[in-house]
Amino acid sequence: MRKRYNTLNAYYRHIFGEKIFKVPIDAGFDCPNRDGTVARGGCTFCTVSGSGDAIVAPEAPIREQFYKEIDFMHRKWPEVSKYLVYFQNFTNTHDKVDLIQERYEQAINEPGVIGINIGTRPDCLPDETIAYLADLSKRLHVTVELGLQTTYERTSQLINRAHSYELYVETVKRLRQYPQIEIVSHLINGLPGENHTMMLENVRRCVTDNDIQGIKLHLLHLMTNTRMQRDYHEGRLRLLSQKEYVDIICDQLEIIPKHIVIHRITGDAPRHMLIGPMWSLNKWEVLNAIDEEMERRNSYQGCKLEVV
């Protein structure tokens, strides 16, 4: 079935000419809302590994992690020879620029590396770090993945993000002074207190009011050993059903401009750590349900933005 949205796979094949791997790396950074810089405890949904639960060897040196990851991936796709290094978990610009550079260089100079994706936050991109990323973008493809999660201040406070939507807007503007740096923003569907209308508004604000090039839409996974467990057990959090999630995603896709690349429309969680929703473990079933609903609607990305 032909996808009715602008997929990451198609985008990468277009700009790189072939299939590539995204290689996740744990570079040993922390987060400013964990270490006391702006708050403590981290985001209430975050595990102790900071969204890096699937990394093969997070304790290994960076270069060793890189080769362990591509060896694992080559078991399924032996022909792939180009890689994007993905500094994934925690906040990968949360340190002095000299240390950031030293850690990045351990991976990006390996054979076949053509780009870098950097998971970070809007409050961890001072001008000197952005300048380094701009220089880096002259050597390889650079994508900054900004964890926004919500545009609502009340939700942000509930989940202990410890930064504002206004700061996100300002950071996007500073990054866009260097057009060669791509920005991908992360949003989570199903956060405490947010309804269907609010989730649509999160997307509208994120992609309509800001000059970004891609978006990741995640389902909220309730994980063990997270602070959000208390919200769930005390009735402040209701987990979405698969039908609810599919309807939300399809409604969101319809208001996302066609040029925005959809980097993700669901997420992965380790089975042994997941409290719910358990249906999310059937990833391909969820993706197929989204495709089928878009087909049923005769709908496609950006169709609600078109002028009749």
Exposure of 172 by Cβ count < 10 A (0-12 exposed, 13-18 middle, 19+ buried)? buried
What is the pLDDT at residue 231? Answer: 87
Q: What residue ranges define each of the domains in the chain, with the CATH number in brackets?
A: 8-297 (3.30.750.200)
What is the pLDDT at residue 308? Answer: 46
What is the pLDDT at residue 166? Answer: 97
Beta bridge partners of 141: 115
What is the pLDDT at residue 279? Answer: 96
What is the pLDDT at residue 180? Answer: 97
Taking the chain (308 residues) in runs of 10, the rounded mean pLDDT of each run is 91 94 93 94 81 66 92 91 94 96 95 97 97 97 97 96 96 97 98 96 95 97 91 90 98 97 92 93 95 97 81
**What residues have CB less than 8 Å from 16, skipping those under 6 apart?**
82, 114
DSSP collapsed to 3 states, 257-278: CCCCEEEECCCCCCHHHEEECH
Distance CA 149, CA 28 (A): 22
Distance CA 141, CA 132 (A): 13
